[in-house]
Structure 1
Amino acid sequence: MSELLGHNDCMKSLRKDLVDIQGAIMDVVSRTGPISYTSWKFPNKLASDLDLVDLLEEYDFVDGEDAYNQHSHVVLLELVVDRYYTKL
């Protein structure tokens, strides 16, 4: 499995998952109103204050940058956990 860490297709799939999860969260929040939960990944911020667009831009696949891609892959996984954990 470690050979998939930082793989472009895996990261694309994670990015799509994050967008889908965020869309579901926004749908629920639009019906219930905002709920204040601290982010799991960034505990000094509210989960609702994370700018997912900026984070997806920052942690994107870069051709030829294996170490950076592996780091970005882990961050994307952590963001999936963050989105599920914070229960916006």
Structure 2
Amino acid sequence: MAHLLGHAGCMESLQADLRDLQAAIADVSSRAGAVRFPSWKFPDKVSCDLDLVALLERYCYTENDPEFTQHSHVVLLELVIDR
């Protein structure tokens, strides 16, 4: 599995999953209200206040920087947990 770390297709899939999760969270929150709980990934922030669009733009596949791309892949996995 380590050979997939930083793979463009895997990262695109994770980003799509995160967008889907965020849409589901927004749907439930619109009916039940936002849950004000600290973020697992960013404990200094409230989870419902994270700007997921900005995070997805920041942590994306970068062809010319494999180390940052691998780091971004891990961050995206952590964001799935956080959601």
TM-score by length of 2: 0.97
- Pairing 1:22-37 to 2, within 5 Å after superposition: 22-37=22-37
Corresponding residue pairs, total? 83
Report which structure shows greater RCO (CA 8 Å, sep ≥6).
1
Match for residue 8 of structure 2? Answer: 8
Match for residue 60 of structure 1? Answer: 60
Match for residue 73 of structure 1? Answer: 73
Alignment RMSD (CA, Å): 0.6
Deviations 1:12-47 (A, max 9, x none): 000000000000000000000122111000001000
TM-score by length of 1: 0.92
Q: List runs of 5+ in structure 2 lacking aligned partners.
A: none
- Could you tell me how far apart the structure 2 residues matched to 1:48 and 1:78 are? 15
Q: List runs of 5+ in structure 1 lacking aligned partners.
A: 84-88
Q: Sequence identity, in percent? A: 58
